[in-house]
Structure 1
Amino acid sequence: MLSYWCQHAWIGGAVATGVLLECEGGVLTSVARAPSPPRGAEVLCGLTLPGFADAHSHAFHRALRGTVQRDRGTFWTWRETMYEVAAALDPDTYLALARAAYAEMALAGVTCVGEFHYLHHGPDGRRYSDPNAMGAALVEAAAEAGVRLTLLDTAYLSSGPTPDGAGVPPEGVQLRFSDGSAAAWAERAEALAGSLATSATVRCGAAVHSVRAVPARELATVAEWARRSSAPLHVHLSEQPAENTACVEAYGRTPARLLADHGVLGPLTTAVHATHLTPEDIGLLGGTRTGACFCPTTERDLADGIGPAPRLAAEGVRLSLGTDSHARVDLLAEARSLELDQRLATGVRGHFTAAELLDAATSAGHAALGWPDAGALEPGRLADFTTVALDTVRTAGPPAETAAETAVFAATAADVRHTVVAGRHVVRDGVHLRVGDVGGALAAAVGAVTP
């Protein structure tokens, strides 16, 4: 039995002062008020929250930080740099980069990551002797970094849509992403899922990269595999106007309608970005109980736009958050950006409360990744939590009853003091206990795959 006494904790949507968390076997067994720390309990000063779920990650994009900000740049210059990094990776360098990236997430309070994984094969599309060698590298990276992982194995089969539904064949580095057909993707994904079936820290899901990268006639195969496996299914949706235009020209309908018509939308599905939606698209997501994952930092960084988060929420779409390209890893910043970007777009304050933003960063994110047993400080839930300091230059001063607002609207990842996964410290007092020098690990891993 392990016990943690929290100075303040987020319980049932409110801040409680003096809370004792007891856990056994990686699960919370008791959550009770305690005015002072009992003997033997580890003291967590600050506000303890359920661990953050980073619901949309491309780990290898961590190597792009800074590099893609040189000169003025466009989305297309960003993509060319991304392709250069993708071409340079092998299972060993992928492991090192992902381990360091996931360790950075743990330092930021992330206890579970959804990896949107499409870098499957070797150069020119040649399969490794283990067709899931790159996925296995991600699994090992998460284990060594001490975080839970939902590996969203991603179908990526074409470089653009065509009216016949066949798609433009992939080329260049895109060949590394493709299995050739959805049937071949499903066969490889099935083998991967089987290898992870008994894991306590990894769950396998699926993803449609986009309507650009998965031809219409292949969509149902991916959706059926996810449905049969009861697995989370994610998809990049309407990230840019060009995607919508190409889809309408090829298929005569929006991406959301195309996905709905082929069975991709539904309660196990999360639409990532969901930026450029029509009113009908918003209704489709709400009517099918599809979730939406927003990645505000990346959406700003790539000049993609501001998605209709309040309208989606009003339709019953549950919102989660991701760091996507890792231009910054800070779930608190992503949470407040969901609100602040809407203020800029509308000229109105108060679209989301701090409680709603914390739900997006915790419970909703875990649910989107297939971990409904995480995301809340309640008996029976996984003992995954993080503590944000309330005495730093960013957080000191406000009263305890506004600790949630302080955390969401003022704190940063640098204010995270502790991260606990399965009842055990991964980060203590701002130090990663497994990787140690995360900055050094990042510098070495990025340097190995960039000029």
Structure 2
Amino acid sequence: MTTTRNNPTGDGAAPDTGAAPAEKVYWCELAWLNGTVEPHVALEVTAQGRLGAVRRDVEAPPTGAAVLRGLTLPGLANAHSHAFHRALRSTVQVGSGTFWTWRDAMYQTASRLTPDTYYTLARAVYAEMALAGITCVGEFHYLHHAPGGARYDDPNAMSHALVAAAADAGIRITLLDTAYLSSGIGPKGRGEPPNRQQLRFSDGSAETWAERATAFRPEGAHARVGAAVHSVRAVPARELGTVAQWAEERGAPLHVHLSEQTAENEACESVHGMTPTALLAEHGVLTPRTVAVHATHLTDDDIRQVGRTGTGVCMCPTTERDLADGIGPAPALDRAGAALSLGSDSHAVIDMFEEARALELDERLASRTRGHWTAGQLLRAATEGGQAALGWPEASRLETGALADFTTVALDSVRTAGPVARLAEETAVFAATAADVRHTVVAGRHVVRDGAHTLVDSVPHALTEAIGALRP
């Protein structure tokens, strides 16, 4: 599985590899060091929130060290999130319906959000992510304006709310500012006007989107900014190059929903005479900085094009199966050279272990064969692959100079107890759940300790209150 990518950080930050004195020490019962499970590892954290040293064979915890029992991994990365979709959990499971009826329910929830209520909801959602071992989230953000499309006094008020929410939940964020300009491709590919619910998503044109995105300056070292094309449905072909150029000039990540629905493919081929993948490639959207999300319904030529351009792919198995979208060609994309990452997308669940094993298990159902990826390869997709996709490659591994972002999964719960240490990778991927996360550390700060969030009191209560405030 390909996970490493030439993906810039977006701000030119370089790892501090100097031998800085340890500000704090974490002692790991087991640690996953570049694909190998090692016992008794001490992680020394500098005042700058980086790993000043990674020491093996430290038989006993040093004096004053925080003890992490279980398997410690680099921080999990949720490479594709729509935070407000968390409010839809369970309500959209009633009855049957389609992706399009689900979308109507999503619009209703979106219509009730303000910067204040979005901050409250996102803070709770990001705290849930921290409890699940996620240290960085890629927020695919298109809810820019007030209902009806009116601009807030600060045109980036909703973006600021999300960045503040991530800070207060203790995790990193890549705010993927999303261009969403039209409701459909339109008969001549010029885009249909946004519908009433979509007016708050749209800046009117890619040029206006770029002006607003350029003006956004996130506060805090925990946040970086990238760009996104919502889809070929929502950004007319003539506008695609503007978004791609904006990302290229900044060396920033560029994400795009790709071929999530067969209806999208059919409309694109009818109007443009080519697949969405070919259209994106023609307009310079597919690059080594780009991540295609879902990529469910691709042709063989599409797969080769994704591989040739160095484009990564973020799979979201729990959402793809929840919405009955289909099983994407992940093994073929992997073989073509696409770096794979994982996201929880609509947050039907927030559990990166479930996303990782679903990549393998869904493919087993489709192919009726086993062993498409090893447990270690799936862990790389959930850690290194996701961090690179979001422009945080220095958070990908537990090594000197890396960001001190890591998480510990228990190996003594009812789900994980029994296997020997050498099978810790397999246990984490194929048995553990988010409920087995015991510790999450970001920039050296203990955000989750012994399964409890240290910054947000009662995350379940915070979620209940935030979601309840959005009910009609």
**Distance (whole Å) between structure 2 residues aligned to residue 258 and residue 148 of structure 1:** 32
Native 8 Å contact 1:144 1:434 kept in 2? yes
SS class of match (2:178):
strand
CA deviation vs aligned residue, 1:230-253 (integer Å, no higher than 9, x gap): 110000000011110011011110
SS class of match (1:257):
helix
CA distance 1:358–1:200, change in 2 (3 Å): same
SS class of match (1:267):
coil
Query: Aligned pair 1:91/2:112, yes or no?
Result: no
Partner of 1:103: 127
1:10-21 equivalence runs, <5 A: 10-21=32-43
1:197-216 equivalence runs, <5 A: 199-216=220-237
Partner of 1:42: 66
Partner of 1:26: 49
**Distance (whole Å) between structure 2 residues aligned to residue 77 and residue 234 of structure 1:** 25
1:333-348 equivalence runs, <5 A: 333-348=354-369
CA positional deviation for 1:160: 0.5
Partner of 1:143: 167
1:347-366 equivalence runs, <5 A: 347-366=368-387
SS class of match (2:181):
coil
> Given the alignment, which residue of 151, 166, 177 partners 1:153?
177
**Distance (whole Å) between structure 1 residues aligned to residue 210 and residue 114 of structure 2:** 22
**Distance (whole Å) between structure 1 residues aligned to residue 45 and residue 61 of structure 2:** 15
Query: Aligned pair 1:63/2:87, yes or no?
Result: yes
CA positional deviation for 1:222: 0.3
Query: Aligned pair 1:328/2:352, yes or no?
Result: no
**Distance (whole Å) between structure 1 residues aligned to residue 122 and residue 220 of structure 2:** 19
The alignment covers a number of residue pairs equal to 448
Moved more, 66-75 or 400-409: 66-75
**Distance (whole Å) between structure 2 residues aligned to residue 143 and residue 99 of structure 1:** 8
Query: Aligned pair 1:274/2:298, yes or no?
Result: no
> Given the alignment, which residue of 413, 428, 431 partners 1:407?
428
Amino acid at match of 2:206: A
> Given the alignment, which residue of 288, 310, 324 partners 1:303?
324
CA positional deviation for 1:73: 2.2
1:212-231 equivalence runs, <5 A: 212-231=233-252
**Distance (whole Å) between structure 1 residues aligned to residue 471 and residue 191 of structure 2:** 31
Query: Aligned pair 1:372/2:359, yes or no?
Result: no
Query: Aligned pair 1:171/2:205, yes or no?
Result: no
Partner of 1:53: 77
CA positional deviation for 1:14: 1.0
**Distance (whole Å) between structure 2 residues aligned to residue 176 and residue 165 of structure 1:** 22
Partner of 1:424: 445
Query: Aligned pair 1:288/2:288, yes or no?
Result: no
CA positional deviation for 1:163: 4.5
CA deviation vs aligned residue, 1:301-357 (integer Å, no higher than 9, x gap): 000000000100001101000000000000000000000000000000000111110
Unaligned runs of 5+ in 1: none
**Distance (whole Å) between structure 2 residues aligned to residue 60 and residue 365 of structure 1:** 21
Native 8 Å contact 1:163 1:251 kept in 2? no
Amino acid at match of 1:428: R
Native 8 Å contact 1:329 1:413 kept in 2? yes
CA positional deviation for 1:162: 2.4
**Distance (whole Å) between structure 1 residues aligned to residue 419 and residue 42 of structure 2:** 23
CA positional deviation for 1:165: 3.0
Query: Aligned pair 1:7/2:25, yes or no?
Result: no
SS class of match (2:318):
helix
Native 8 Å contact 1:60 1:98 kept in 2? yes
Query: Aligned pair 1:261/2:285, yes or no?
Result: no
RMSD: 0.7
Moved more, 398-407 or 198-207: 198-207
**Distance (whole Å) between structure 2 residues aligned to residue 37 and residue 105 of structure 1:** 28
**Distance (whole Å) between structure 2 residues aligned to residue 232 and residue 312 of structure 1:** 19
Moved over 2 A (4+): 162-165
Partner of 1:237: 258
**Distance (whole Å) between structure 2 residues aligned to residue 63 and residue 304 of structure 1:** 20
Query: Aligned pair 1:382/2:382, yes or no?
Result: no
SS class of match (2:395):
coil
SS class of match (2:130):
helix
**Distance (whole Å) between structure 2 residues aligned to residue 183 and residue 21 of structure 1:** 46
**Distance (whole Å) between structure 2 residues aligned to residue 348 and residue 214 of structure 1:** 38
Native 8 Å contact 1:63 1:450 kept in 2? no
Native 8 Å contact 1:62 1:327 kept in 2? yes
Amino acid at match of 2:191: G
**Distance (whole Å) between structure 2 residues aligned to residue 257 and residue 434 of structure 1:** 45
Amino acid at match of 1:11: L
Native 8 Å contact 1:10 1:49 kept in 2? yes
CA positional deviation for 1:436: 1.7
SS class of match (1:349):
coil
**Distance (whole Å) between structure 2 residues aligned to residue 109 and residue 262 of structure 1:** 37
**Distance (whole Å) between structure 2 residues aligned to residue 250 and residue 449 of structure 1:** 38
Amino acid at match of 1:407: A
CA deviation vs aligned residue, 1:351-397 (integer Å, no higher than 9, x gap): 01111100100011000000011121000110000000000000000
SS class of match (1:310):
helix
SS class of match (1:154):
strand
Partner of 2:467: 446
**Distance (whole Å) between structure 2 residues aligned to residue 153 and residue 111 of structure 1:** 20
CA positional deviation for 1:172: 1.0
